[in-house]
Amino acid sequence: MNQTYDALPSSYRVGDVSFTLLAATFKNLKKETFDLTKDLPSAGLVSDDGQITNGGLLLCDQGVLRQSRIFCTRWKGDRKVDDKEFQGASLITLLQNAEGALIGNIDQFIGKVNEILFVVYTERVRIEESGTKTDVTRLISARMKCLWN
C-alpha cells in the first residue's frame, strides 16, 4: 500500500511525545477542545496501533525530527544581510518563529516590490465517525508583497 511520508509510522509511541501546543492552538482557533484519543488518529497523527506517524512528529511538542527546519535569509541585492534557522520544535512553533523573523524585519523592506511565497502541501486520509475514509489533499499558499531595499 502506498503511503505519503507523513502517514508512515515512526518508532515513537503515544506516551513518548506530547501535543500540548497543538491542543492549545486548536482550542484557540476552533474554540473546541482537542480530544487526543479521538482527534490524533482522525488527523492521521497516530496509527491504529498507537504509533506516532511522521506527521505527528512534525506537530509534537518535542520537535524530534531533525529534518524539520525553517531557514529565513534576508538579502540586499546579492549580499546576504542576515539569516536565521529554526529547528528542534513543533511545526507550529517553527512557523511562529519564522513569522516573527519576517514581521520583525518588515520595517526594513523599502524599495521595489517582490513577493514572498509560502506553500504547504498536505495529503492524508480523513476517517469519519461512521468509519468512512476520505482522501484529503490541500495545497495552501500565501503571497505576501514586500518592499525590499
Cell digits of residue 130: 461512521
Which of 46-50, 88-92, 125-129, 140-144 shows the lowest per-residue confidence on average (mean pLDDT)?
140-144
Instruction: With H, G, I as helix, E, B as strand and everything else as coil, classify residue 114.
Output: strand
> By the 8 A CB rule, do 58 and 94 touch?
no
Give 116's Cβ-side CA count (13 Å radius). Answer: 16
Mean pLDDT of the chain: 77
| Helix, strand and coil in the chain, % to nearest 5 | 30, 40, 30
pTM > 0.85: yes or no: no
User: pLDDT class for 141, splitting at 50, 70, 90?
Assistant: very low
pLDDT digits (tens, 9 = 90+) for 85-129: 888 888 888 888 887 777 666 555 544 445 554 444 445 566 777
Give 73's Cβ-side CA count (13 Å radius). Answer: 7
pLDDT digits (tens, 9 = 90+) for 26-38: 898 889 899 988 9
